[in-house]
């Protein structure tokens, strides 16, 4: 399961971390993204894909959404989740993504 | 006074270092290594705003060279040992800056490095990184601690620009080496075509 989106340390984007860890096969992920005609930069240890927000996908399963709009980050996560078969995000108990 | 090339990142340190050199009367040229897509647009926006402020203050044009560093990062990440990522990255930056210095008639390179703040700033890694260039390298902030640098940044007005939200560079390895030797680094560089990569980067430079 992915924890709720959190603003990253420099406050420039939102990150999603899976607990327990959910390693991502980047080779397979790249193929699935490209099949959806999503531009991908493959740096071997991470992918950078351009969806609604640009997102960095690490092998460890960490996702970083380069947007300061939490709705865009959430929307991008959901699309990524459907393409890559990622675990769901935990249910929100509060009003939205976590800041700080 | 001399003409120098300063590596500027958008962070807190580089505009402070640039301020000291400008205050001394040197003519400065700025070089920003554009790390997109491993960062967002914020570092470049910060650099532009830093330079606008310093240009006004010191009445110098301070040309800004924007060099595409993202493709270099991709090649390094795909082909070399990640632990040395920071040192390898710095070596490319220095050599690219030296090419710009040749173009601009500059006689020194400069940076906002202080000792020991991050992995690339240990003495060992600085030595490995700078062995790649011939020009002298000036580090106005080498003896400053973080608090002092921040104090100056606040006094010259660059701190609020530097601390605007942004995405950290995603190319930084999880466990960067804090020590390296040149033999190790050169061995890693043999895995890539260094000169072609630098040529390509400098050829695609944009002047702002």
- Cβ atoms of B166 and B42 closer than 8 Å: yes
Phi-psi label, residue B164: left if phi above 0, alpha if psi -120 to 50, beta otherwise: beta
What residues of A are in contact with residue B171 (Cβ under 8 Å)? 43
Confidence bin at B196 (pLDDT 50/70/90) = very high
H-helix or E-strand spanning residue B162: helix B159-162
Q: What is the pLDDT of residue A95?
A: 55
Question: CA-CA distance, B34 to B72, in Å (whole number)?
Answer: 10
Answer whether the bond into residue A88 is a cis peptide, omega within 30°.
no
Q: Which domain holds residue A44?
A: 6-84
User: Searching chain B, which residue's CA lies closest to the CA of residue A50?
Assistant: B37
Q: What is the pLDDT of residue B124?
A: 87
Over 80: is that where the pLDDT of B153 sits?
A: yes
Tokens of B156: 């010259």
Over 80: is that where the pLDDT of A97 sits?
A: no
Interface contact B74-A43, CB threshold 8 A: yes
pTM of the model: 0.92
Question: CA-CA distance, B124 to B130, in Å (whole number)?
Answer: 10
| CATH number for position A50 | 3.30.310
Residue B127: CA atoms inside 13 Å, Cβ hemisphere, count? Answer: 10
Residues β-bridged to residue B32: B66
**Considering the domain boundaries, does residue A100 fall inside one?**
no
H-helix or E-strand spanning residue A63: strand A63-65
A7, A8, A9, A10, best to mutate vs chain B, most B CBs in 10 Å: A10
pLDDT tens-digit series, residues B101-144: 999 999 999 999 988 766 667 888 888 999 989 999 999 999 99
The share of chain B scoring above pLDDT 70, in percent, equals 98
Q: What is the pLDDT of residue A74?
A: 95
pLDDT tens-digit series, residues B165-186: 999 888 988 888 888 889 999 9
Look at the block and give the residue holding tokens 């301020």: B19
Q: What is the pLDDT of residue B178?
A: 86
Q: What is the pLDDT of residue B174?
A: 82
Over 60: is that where the pLDDT of A100 sits?
A: no
Domain count, chain B: 1
Q: What is the pLDDT of residue B121?
A: 74
**Considering the domain boundaries, does residue A98 fall inside one?**
no
Q: What is the pLDDT of residue B19?
A: 98
What's chain A's Rg over C-alpha atoms?
A: 13
The answer to whether A71 faces chain B, any CB pair under 8 Å, is: no
Residues B25-36, mean pLDDT to the nearest whole number? 97
Q: What is the pLDDT of residue A76?
A: 97
Q: Which domain holds residue B43?
A: 3-207
| CATH number for position B152 | 3.40.50.620
pLDDT, averaged across chain A: 91
Q: What is the pLDDT of residue A96?
A: 59
Question: CA-CA distance, B11 to A13, in Å (whole number)?
Answer: 17
Over 70: is that where the pLDDT of B59 sits?
A: yes
What residues of B are in contact with residue A56 (Cβ under 8 Å)? 38, 170
Residues β-bridged to residue A40: A49
H/E/C letters for each residue in B5-73?
Answer: EEECCCCCHHHHHHHHHHHCCCEEEEEEEECCCCCCCHHHHHHHHHHHHHHHHHCCCCCEEEEECHHHH
Residues B89-106, mean pLDDT to the nearest whole number? 97
Q: What is the pLDDT of residue A98?
A: 67
Domain count, chain A: 1
pLDDT, averaged across chain B: 94
Q: How many CB atoms lie within 10 A of CB B208?
A: 12
Interface contact A64-B38, CB threshold 8 A: no
pLDDT tens-digit series, residues A14-67: 999 999 889 999 999 999 999 999 999 999 999 999 999 999 999 999 999 999
- Cβ atoms of B139 and B17 closer than 8 Å: yes
């Amino acid at each position: 399961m992915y924890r709720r989106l959190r603003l990253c340390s420099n406050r420039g984007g939102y990150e999603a971390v899976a607990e327990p860890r959910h390693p991502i096969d980047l080779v397979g992920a790249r193929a699935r993204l490209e099949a959806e005609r999503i531009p991908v930069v493959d740096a071997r240890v991470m992918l950078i894909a351009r969806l609604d927000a640009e997102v960095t996908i690490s092998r460890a399963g960490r996702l970083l959404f380069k947007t300061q709009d939490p709705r865009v980050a959430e929307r991008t996560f959901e699309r990524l989740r459907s393409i890559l078969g990622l675990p769901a995000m935990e249910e929100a108990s509060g009003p939205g993504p976590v800041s700080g | 006074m001399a003409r120098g090339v300063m590596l500027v990142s958008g962070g807190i340190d580089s505009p402070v270092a640039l301020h000291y050199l400008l205050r001394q009367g040197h003519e400065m040229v700025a070089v920003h290594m554009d790390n997109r897509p491993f960062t967002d647009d914020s570092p470049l926006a910060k650099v532009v705003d830093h330079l606008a402020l310093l240009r006004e203050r010191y009445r110098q044009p301070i040309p800004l060279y924007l060099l595409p560093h993202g493709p270099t990062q991709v090649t390094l990440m795909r082909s070399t040992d990640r632990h040395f990522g920071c040192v390898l990255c710095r070596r490319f930056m220095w050599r690219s800056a030296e090419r710009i210095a040749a173009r601009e008639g500059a006689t020194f390179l400069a940076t906002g490095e202080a000792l020991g703040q991050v992995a690339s700033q240990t003495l060992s890694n600085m030595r490995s990184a700078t062995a790649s260039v011939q020009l002298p390298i000036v580090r106005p902030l080498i003896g400053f601690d973080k608090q002092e640098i921040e104090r100056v940044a606040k006094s010259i007005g660059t701190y609020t620009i530097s601390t605007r939200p942004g995405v950290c560079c995603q190319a930084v390895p999880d466990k960067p080496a804090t020590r390296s030797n040149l033999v190790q680094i050169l061995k890693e560089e043999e895995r890539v075509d260094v000169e072609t990569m630098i040529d390509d980067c400098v050829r695609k430079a944009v002047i702002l």
